[in-house]
């Protein structure tokens, strides 16, 4: 059953494991904390195409989990930006 105003889905649905996710907002993070879930801290970092593996490996060693990579900037001068998260200590 659809919620009022919700558009009907057209076409095949992606399997749950292939659905896109988005970074959790600070407000959502606080709400999860109130319910006893993990608190997270976030980091964004530019990615250099010629050194991507080394950059991601370095953040991984520091406990950061890659959430997503996106582009930013103007067309033709786009920059890759990585978004990371890790459990907040304390």
Question: Is residue 10 one of the residues assigned to a domain?
Answer: no
Question: Is residue 16 one of the residues assigned to a domain?
Answer: no
83 phi and psi, to 5 degrees?
-115, 130
Phi-psi category of 64—alpha, beta or left, where left has phi over 0 and alpha has psi -120 to 50? beta
Question: Is residue 26 one of the residues assigned to a domain?
Answer: no
User: Residues with Cβ < 8 Å from 64, sequence gap 6 or more?
Assistant: 43, 84, 85, 86
Mean pLDDT value across the chain: 77
Question: Is residue 88 one of the residues assigned to a domain?
Answer: yes
The tally of domains found in the chain comes to 1
Question: Which range marks the domain in which residue 50 is found?
Answer: 43-90
Band of residue 49 on the pLDDT scale cut at 50, 70, 90: confident
Nearest to 23 by CA among 38, 49, 41: 41
Band of residue 86 on the pLDDT scale cut at 50, 70, 90: very high
Q: Regarding predicted confidence, which is higher, 43 or 2? A: 43
Question: Is residue 48 one of the residues assigned to a domain?
Answer: yes
Report pTM.
0.57
Q: Regarding predicted confidence, which is higher, 1 or 84? A: 84
Question: Is residue 67 one of the residues assigned to a domain?
Answer: yes
Question: Is residue 6 one of the residues assigned to a domain?
Answer: no
Question: Is residue 11 one of the residues assigned to a domain?
Answer: no
């Amino acid at each position: 059953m659809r919620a009022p105003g919700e558009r009907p889905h057209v076409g095949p649905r992606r399997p749950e494991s292939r659905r896109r996710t988005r970074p959790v907002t600070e407000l959502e993070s606080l709400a999860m904390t109130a319910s006893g879930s993990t608190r997270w801290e976030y980091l964004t970092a530019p990615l250099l195409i010629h050194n991507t593996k080394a950059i991601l490996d370095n953040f991984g060693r520091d406990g950061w989990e890659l959430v997503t990579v996106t582009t930013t900037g103007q067309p033709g001068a786009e920059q890759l930006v990585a978004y990371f998260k890790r459990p907040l200590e304390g």
